[in-house]
Structure 1
């Protein structure tokens, strides 16, 4: 149990005054019984000392005790150490490092981890906005590593609560897709026709299956079997020794070795057969490949796609290759397919992401609900003779 006393009364020449005004000390042991380290903390009043002693003992019993020294590490040191032991993609690591070095460390790096308050987080975010960063970058992209960092500190019992969770931060709504700004089926066909011949099949893969650019570029002919494709990897662009290169990486929101299956419409299957018959596969079996047989860089692909959009007569549209993914999702949902199925095919981390972006496109289910409930209640007599 914690001991509460005044050191002035325990000396060889103790203080004789009953209300001397000297501080009160709490002496307690850390978890571990007699092997636990002994600690002391001073308070101006006996009541505060008693309250702290009770809390310390309760925390030990409930497994919530925090070592006071555990949080006494500079934010910059903890952030760098935390990042070094994360098992994440190289591109993600680079983005986290940029945020830490350019924003978190200059503003909070010299503070002790245990001293970071919610107000510090709010001021840092406000400062980033004032420095020119968009609100979406500050309150959405940068919050991912920041929340993870302080969540880890809580899990490691360095701090009791995350200041990020306590901060009053605006919650940004995911930008909904404007289906009126998307191309129609004829426009998709026109873009495919205007695309370089050996890349045209990519338009059908993205518009008909909802693939990302990196997933299309990493697709092999062996990934497609009996009307379905199993996606296992994607190409991401990374900078190595000052040169941008494409490297294989796990799918977005997936770990190494995980995959997702996507149905292949018959029209897309036909386009694939036509492509393989006329262009074959690259050296490593990739469906899309450069003239020398190697893989296609995403930057080169984006340039080719934009040229095709202009050539097809849509120079005034801001369509990108990712627009075809929106075309797939919006068409599937508007056609009555469930958000759950579409979310799984798109490879979103959660169905909430799909709902935020495309949920407004779901057909009105009011008529279907009335029909279902009328059928369920058909045998129920709702009229009563009260006479």
Structure 2
């Protein structure tokens, strides 16, 4: 879909077809428009035969918004959404989260159905304030909800109420000043370079391949399951462009990425040799190395590696650190990078973190002595 934005506040028109913008005037597909109405909510309309028709309709909406007094528009929003039940408002808000993948949608549905809606679903939106939010957190505490779930539920409630606050439903943000649940995730457990060889060789060939992709290129589990020979774009570069989604079991876009977006990561020689060895031994299907054990036409299932991991740990024949999970192999990649002086900004990009703050939060402890090292380097010119 290609879209052309008009002056700020007017909206945009576009066509949802495969034709480039230069062909819009000749292709038979109808135009659509997207805009924000007087109530501040985003809306779409379709069925416009020409670009001029689409722009004319956008102009009508824009002029109507300008003509309506700001206080009147706010009053309309408050009247419409203020009396709305939280459950209904949350459903509308969820419909607007078009960037979420299936796994994220499933997680959101779980938080809503288990924590948010049972407590708050029937509450009117205009009755929220900081005491209601604090009461929600206290109820979760009394019910013995884990801190991770408390934190996630609070974050979703905060996002929904912030959306309502932007519409003008509250004079004061209801979550302002509320102390969030104090969730402090445990420090990640990372295998040492001495432990890694035994771990990578403890399962079958597919386990070894996945272990090398995660520890050598920093792939997430699902990204490793979608490894494709065609994604070796240079002898030392692998292009991560998709993943096997745990929820759907299908190839889908990357986490925090749009469709067709990718990230390039370093490809160590040993990891490349493992990819080539596996391809030579088992062949590929459209370039994919890992396929469903009983049906090569289907993607590789997540449970195949997790089942092996449980058997490996139960056997106790390999030195595995306490608390280590398969995902720890990805942490090894970050540790290996940082221990060899690779900038954390590069590590964040290669690992596909949404923001560098995520990388710092997880791996800051892997850079001990960095301040002391900096002090020594800075001192060189100071004493020259």
- TM-score, length-scaled by structure 2: 0.74
> Deviations for 1:159-217, whole angstroms, at most 9, x for unmatched residues?
34431234232443443335xxx322232211222221244211111111111110101
Partner of 2:357: 352
Q: Which runs of 5+ in 2 are unaligned?
A: 1-63
What is the match of residue 8 of structure 1?
none
Q: Which moved more, 1:102-111 or 1:119-128?
A: 102-111
CA separation in 2, counterparts of 1:337 and 1:284?
34
Correspondence for 1:25: none
**2: CA distance, partners of 1:374 / 1:318:** 41
Q: Give 1:235's aligned residue.
A: 244
Alignment CA distance shift 1:173-1:111 (3 Å): same
Q: Deviations over 1:232-270 (max 9, x none)?
A: 1111222xxxxxx40223222223232211101111111
| Alpha-carbon separation, structure 2, partners of 1:89 and 1:277 | 34
Indicate the RMSD between aligned Cα atoms, in angstroms: 2.8
* TM-score, length basis structure 1: 0.73
Q: What is the match of residue 302 of structure 1?
A: 306
Deviates most, 347-356 or 106-115: 106-115
Unaligned runs of 5+ in 1: 1-31, 38-58, 239-244, 380-387
Alpha-carbon contact 1:190-1:312 (below 8 Å) kept: no
Are 1:272 and 2:275 an aligned pair? Answer: yes
Q: In structure 2, what is the equivalent of residue 94 of structure 1?
A: 106
1:211 aligns with 2:219: yes
On the 8 A contact 1:302/1:320 being kept in 2, the answer is: no
Three-state SS of the structure 1 residue aligned to 2:257 is coil
Query: CA separation in 2, counterparts of 1:368 and 1:326?
Result: 23
Secondary structure of the corresponding residue to residue 324 of structure 2: coil
Contact 1:334 1:363 in 2 (8 A): no
Provide the secondary structure at the position in 2 that maps to 1:165: coil
Q: 1:219 to 1:116 in 2, by over 3 A?
A: same
The separation in 2 between residues aligned to 1:302 and 1:216, in whole angstroms, is 13
Aligned pairs (5 A) from 1:239-278: 245-278=248-281
Give yes or no for contact 2:84–2:124 (8 Å, CA) kept in 1.
yes
CA distance in 2, matches of 1:82, 1:230: 34
> Who wins on radius of gyration, i.e. which is larger?
1
Residue 55 of structure 2 corresponds to which residue in structure 1? none
In structure 2, the CA distance between the partners of 1:161 and 1:222, relative to structure 1 (3 Å rule), is farther
Of residues 96, 105, 129 in structure 1, which corresponds to 2:141?
Answer: 129
Partner of 1:49: none
Correspondence for 2:29: none
Moved more, 340-349 or 66-75: 66-75
Taking a change above 3 Å as real, the CA distance of residues 258 and 161 of structure 1, as seen in their structure-2 partners, is farther
Taking a change above 3 Å as real, the CA distance of residues 249 and 142 of structure 1, as seen in their structure-2 partners, is farther
Q: CA deviation at 1:376?
A: 2.7
Question: Which of 69, 72, 76 in structure 1 is aligned with 2:79?
Answer: 69
- Give the C-alpha shift of residue 228 in structure 1: 0.9
* Local SS of the residue matching 2:208: helix
Q: State the partner residue of 1:13.
A: none
